[in-house]
Chains A and B, each alone.
Chain A
């Protein structure tokens, strides 16, 4: 029968997992450790192996190499139905021939629970997703958001050890997606379950996760908390994928001096900062880290530019700035009464702190991704 000894909220470990489909390496030496109750997101472009990782954990695909453990026990020998894992599919996968109640009761009936227990549990789950009154509806009588919530209720009603969600909000429109993000966050707090979430939307990953694992070519390129992933990307790949950023090339002209060729400036490193950017050739520079109120200090790098274009993003205005060497950078400012809007063609001096410039690895751990 179904293993009931695992708790609601288990630890999960992928140990050097590889999965190949013919010549395609969907996962290669994939390592990931998820704590009990943690919310971890796999973030990466289409084809980077996110779904494959979930499929290996769920039992829909066999690992070619490596081990997967839930609560320190290998689950690779078990068929999907004995892994006690909850899963929310992108297209919801509600059973169209069953009403909402029966959909949610499905896993409980398979676990041979009593009628009373089933009624109570389904009732509780549906109440949690605010669909207590919808038990008699058929799936095709529900809106997208409601289906999503039923799928969620069905996935957690049997208290799985881990909850997997594969781009669960992909089919919803923006407003609904944002509302559902808040709800998922609330459910996670309420239930304390371990969640492995998959998305290609970096905003979603930043909003929801305890930790984000950025994936590229079947591997994790960086795994960290959202703020660290955003502030301290370890590679061009991650910096490019998360938020908007400027990639600026530099070179060492002497042990303590770097030259930003893209900005046409040189910068003397402070004695305490001699190792800065060693072995790297580019930095990530977030558009909001650029300033035009220049207070010269030994931390600041100052360069000239001219406004090419600007874009209103609500309370933020984003400029495209052309540097002297012809590189175009993005520069963002909050709008306000004391911040006049710059006109096209206007020249200006921009500055950023050396501490806000993140030196980057070239590929994804040298795997050649750019």
Chain B
């Protein structure tokens, strides 16, 4: 009976498995192949990539930007999610609805919207000049800061939703239990709520991080010339028909992402253990 059900339910996975193999695994292997066969076996693309400071700097900038964006998202999303989860049920749905609205628009449109807001003749400059804070428009568009602002705004809802759903799983009686056992409100949060919500926060941060690593429309539209990221580099090389080099960059980006995620998870685990920790109260 039980094994029977197991066999039947395995079928449910097949479509997903097929998609994974056909549209992810095979292309990835193909890219891996393209990066080392051009047309004979060669390591020249990787040698070129790792031999150039320019490329390494772009790699490092991509990782750094993604880390900072996911950190900012996590820091903003945490109190917002906490606020929402404390509301009565009906209000929670309303606030989540507000969070979701931007997700209905494509990343491209939202990036363009930021151009309208941040540009020389944009909304913010118009207001600042109108109020007399400045008489020359301030350069905001095509700067690194613009990339941060736009990416945080675009990715924040994902972080909030992930964080919120983790928090809404937490039994609030646990906080009461902590209080009656002798914990002040902040101690109950630090020793009970924070460790229990950290998993969800880290999951959200990892999703945001991985999405950031592959971002290219937003940096291309609102960033400056030096805000080029790995994904922009890949696009550029593809346009130049340097398939082999583009493939090599893709592989490096993939591996860098996997390693970073692994490190983030490790750090989060240590942090949780610290928070729960024995020693001090």
Which residues 160-203 of B have a CB within 8 angstroms of A? 171, 173-174, 176-184, 187, 191-192, 195-196
Residues of A with C-beta under 8 A to B195: 97
Residues of A with C-beta under 8 A to B272: 97
Contact B278 A102 (CB under 8 A): yes
Residues of A with C-beta under 8 A to B187: 81, 110
A67-75, A86-94, A355-363 - the one binding chain B: A86-94
Give the complex CA separation of A58 and B173 in angstroms.
13
Contact A81 B183 (CB under 8 A): yes
Contact B192 A95 (CB under 8 A): yes
Which residues 95-109 of A have a CB within 8 angstroms of B? 95-98, 102, 105-107, 109
Give the complex CA separation of A91 and B180 in angstroms.
15
B7 at the interface (CB under 8 A from A): no
Residues of B with C-beta under 8 A to A58: 176, 180
A296 at the interface (CB under 8 A from B): no
Main secondary structure of the interface of B (DSSP, over half): helix
Q: A93-B176, A97-B195 are in contact. Are A109 and B281 (CB under 8 A)?
A: yes
Give the complex CA separation of A70 and B276 in angstroms.
32
Residues of A with C-beta under 8 A to B191: 106
Which of A85, A95, A98 meets B180, CB within 8 Å? A85
A236 at the interface (CB under 8 A from B): no
Contact B173 A93 (CB under 8 A): yes
Which of A60, A102, A111 meets B176, CB within 8 Å? A60
What is the total number of residues of chain A having a CB less than 8 Å from a CB of chain B? 30
Contact A97 B281 (CB under 8 A): no
Contact A81 B182 (CB under 8 A): yes
Residue of chain A at shortest CB distance from B198: A97
Contact B180 A97 (CB under 8 A): no
Contact A91 B171 (CB under 8 A): yes
Residue of chain A at shortest CB distance from B170: A96
Give the complex CA separation of A111 and B195 in angstroms.
20
Which of B171, B182, B276, B278 meets A111, CB within 8 Å? B182
Contact A79 B179 (CB under 8 A): yes
Q: A89-B173, A93-B171, A97-B195 are in contact. Are A59 and B182 (CB under 8 A)?
A: no
Chain A proximity of B228: nearest CB distance (Å) = 42
- Of the candidates A81, A87, A107, the one having the most CB atoms from chain B within 10 angstroms of its own CB is A81
Give the complex CA separation of A158 and B281 in angstroms.
15
A112 at the interface (CB under 8 A from B): yes
A83 at the interface (CB under 8 A from B): yes
A24 at the interface (CB under 8 A from B): no
Residue of chain B at shortest CB distance from A104: B181
Which residues 252-281 of B have a CB within 8 angstroms of A? 272, 276, 278, 281
Q: A81-B184, A110-B181, A158-B181 are in contact. Are A95 and B176 (CB under 8 A)?
A: no
Contact A154 B181 (CB under 8 A): yes
Chain A proximity of B273: nearest CB distance (Å) = 10
Q: A97-B276, A112-B281 are in contact. Are A80 and B179 (CB under 8 A)?
A: yes
Contact B182 A110 (CB under 8 A): yes
Residues of A with C-beta under 8 A to B183: 81, 106, 110
Chain B residues close to A by CB (< 8 Å): 171, 173-174, 176-184, 187, 191-192, 195-196, 272, 276, 278, 281
Chain A residues close to B by CB (< 8 Å): 2, 58-60, 79-81, 83-87, 89, 91, 93, 95-98, 102, 105-107, 109-112, 154-155, 158
Which are the 4 A-B pairs with shortest beta-carbon distances?
A110-B182, A93-B177, A107-B181, A80-B179
